[in-house]
Amino acid sequence: MSSALARRIELLNKRFENAAPLEILRGSIGEEFPGKVALVSSFGTESAALLHLIAQIDRNTPVVFLDTGKLFGETKKYRDQLIDLFGLTAVTSVQPDTAALAARDARGILWTQNPDACCALRKVEPLNRALAPYDAWFTGRKAFQAATRAALPLFEIENNRIKINPIVRWTKADIDAYFTDHDLPHHPLEADGYLSIGCMPCTSRVEPGEDARAGRWRGSDKVECGIHLPMGQAPARAEP
């Protein structure tokens, strides 16, 4: 990280230290990164809150959706529902490179052999291509979600691009209250026990008392897809 970029991150965190999410989003979209910031959304169980906030500021804000080829059909239907409900005009569905899939996961079962490599192929690499035009991007991560996210800042740097976590300080109660106050629809699988939803083969129901992300990559040490990793840790790459 360059000293100039490090200084900018420091100033951004200081400027928005006590700001509400709507103020963080408005300042980032209209002042700090005009035309150069996108939201990356999974259209998962809590995504409607951040998408609704974005829509209040600018419905033309770019939104990147990673269509891995392994998603639940309900997630795609929920995506379409929220696009229509919020009037979002710039949602782009990004897919893995077809040549890369043919070379590295021709049978579509890489997830059974090397889930890190599968995530790299189907999520990390497509996202890197999709974010190329942007200087910054919004995530929906919250500190309460996992121990690995407890110390997340509002603004951070990754791959020389600024990553913004505008609702990082929200609690689960805050999310639930926002859904209730704004009458937001829930992901159709949430009522069936899916509290954190990714690709179908690697997502399971969460039992009462479990962490919301316990159903992701159940039975393994994997806790992140590779889009979000601890500082200094490089994402996995699928072997040819």
In contact, 126 and 97? CB cutoff 8 Å: yes
Residue 14's CB: how many other CB atoms inside 10 A?
11
Alpha carbon of 5 to those of 9, 20, 151, 178: distances in Å? 6, 24, 20, 33
Please, what sign has the CA dihedral across residues 58, 225, 131, 159? positive
**N-term to C-term CA, the chain:** 30
In contact, 61 and 206? CB cutoff 8 Å: no
Query: Annotated catalytic, 199?
Result: no
Catalytically annotated residue among 118, 119, 199, 225: 225
Structure tokens at 194: 């899916």
Active site positions, annotated: 225
